[in-house]
Amino acid sequence: MDVQGGYRMADLTQEVQGSAPADFPAIRTELGMRGDGAAPTKMKPGMETRVSPNAEFDVTDLDMFYGSAQALKNVNIQIYEKRITAIIGPSGCGKSTFLRCFNRMNELIPNTRTQGRVLFRGKDLYAPNVDPVAVRKTVGMVFQKPNPFPKSIFDNIAYGAQINGIKGNMNDIVERALRQAELWDEVKDKLKQSGLALSGGQQQRLCIARTLAAQPEVILMDEPCASLDPIATIRIEELMRELKKDFTIVIVTHNMQQAARVSDYTAMMMITDKEEGKRTGTVIEYGETRTLFTTPQDSRTEDYITGRFG
Ligand SMILES: Nc1ncnc2c1ncn2[C@@H]1O[C@H](COP(=O)(O)OP(=O)(O)OP(=O)(O)O)[C@@H](O)[C@H]1O
Ligand SMILES: [Mg+2]
């Protein structure tokens, strides 16, 4: 098979069946498989077989429009509690738009409309009596580009807590958030220094700490490692694994290996309706990350993860 730079799905399948070729790609390591083609060995934390985790979000027939342009159509998915769910798919298919549906952030964009049902812990997230500001506090967001405020490290966190009405001893709140984001040891002696003086990876952990200071229950991450080097990326992934003990995480990523490394579940998105000036996306396949990467049901998923598309 002639594939440029992607994962060879036939090889992945052979691997599962026990006859891996010598140049099997790195993704098998991410999935906890043995290099000699033998049956999978002990899987990485979080990849182990689980019994029905609770659904944190239950999305039914979700549609989303920017003006008259439909960006999402008929999305049906459950996001599981204290698991990492990755959203993958080609540029423009609606990953960020979908992510913003989980904390009603699309409503900050004028002229948008969301229809269908999103339940959060069994309650309608879009019910008229639900305050979107409270939703955004409970369901925090970390963005692609680290965006610390031009303030001290301490104030970045304290501000994150204050605007979300978190009360208590601010020194304790700041220390706790920085420890949770695994940044404390690196910054404890320079809390008064500007957050902008940190490295890119540290800035992203500072932003994660700022999100954590608001005491969310879910963390949404939109390509959080896109601007980071491989070492900083691995740090964030380790942090995510740690955080999933306490939080449900949904991450958008363009990095297939990252999705395979960190996520328990993967949602594959694709543009399904394409006309002049219109591009509507949906989730075409969803399941356990391991299954989706090794035995995808949809040929478009296979094409995408093997690098033949997008
Ligand atoms: N603020 C906006 N106003 C109007 N249309 C938008 C807006 N944001 C996104 N869109 C449109 O919605 C569609 C999905 O965009 P979205 O940013 O969700 O895609 P994506 O999968 O996150 O892409 P990428 O991988 O490039 O980040 C695109 O057609 C895009 O042009
Ligand atoms: Mg995006």
Give distance in angstroms: CA of 106 to centre of ligand 1. Answer: 11
112 Cβ contact partners less than 8 Å away, ≥ 6 residues apart: 64, 65, 66, 67, 106
Give distance in angstroms: CA of 277 to centre of ligand 2. Answer: 18
202 CB less than 6 Å from ligand 1? Answer: no
* pLDDT of res. 138: 95
For 189, the token pair is 């002696």
* pLDDT of res. 307: 84
64 CB less than 6 Å from ligand 1? Answer: no
- The segments of the chain whose pLDDT lies below 70 read 1-52, 276-277, 309-310
User: Does residue 223 come out as left (phi exceeding 0), alpha (psi in the -120 to 50 range) or beta?
Assistant: left
The closest alpha carbon to 229, from 266, 203, 208, belongs to 203
* pLDDT of res. 71: 96
CB 136 within 8 A of CB 105: yes
Nearest CA to ligand 1 atom 18: 94
Give distance in angstroms: CA of 76 to centre of ligand 1. Answer: 19
Query: CA–CA distance from 62 to each of 4, 75, 97, 107, 269 (Å)?
Result: 35, 5, 11, 15, 13
Give distance in angstroms: CA of 227 to centre of ligand 1. Answer: 19
Give distance in angstroms: CA of 310 to centre of ligand 1. Answer: 15
Exposed e or buried b for every residue in 153-175, given b needs 16+ CB within 10 A?
bbbbbbebbeebebeeebeebbb
95 CB less than 6 Å from ligand 1? Answer: yes
Nearest CA to ligand 1 atom 26: 91
The closest alpha carbon to 198, from 163, 148, 236, belongs to 148
Strands 84-88 and 112-120: unpaired
For 62, the token pair is 């979700």
* pLDDT of res. 164: 87
What ligand 1 atom has the least distance to the C-alpha of 269? 21
Strands 218-222 and 248-252: parallel
- The model's pLDDT over 254-276, given as tens digits with 9 standing for 90+, comes to 999 999 999 999 999 999 877 76
Q: What ligand has the least distance to the C-alpha of 254?
A: 1
Collapsed DSSP state (helix, strand, coil) of residue 275:
strand
29 Cβ contact partners less than 8 Å away, ≥ 6 residues apart: 35
Exposed (0-12), middle (13-18) or buried (19+): which is 133, by Cβ within 10 Å? Answer: exposed
Rounded to whole angstroms, the Cα distance separating 239 from 232 reads: 11
Return the best residue to mutate from 63, 97, 222 for the ligand 1 pocket (most ligand atoms within 8 A of CB). Answer: 97
Domains of the chain and CATH, by start: 1-42 (no CATH), 43-305 (3.40.50.300)
Give distance in angstroms: CA of 94 to centre of ligand 2. Answer: 7
Collapsed DSSP state (helix, strand, coil) of residue 100:
helix
Angle at CA 108, nearest 5°, toward 214 and 199? 50
The closest alpha carbon to 236, from 154, 143, 103, belongs to 143
* pLDDT of res. 23: 30
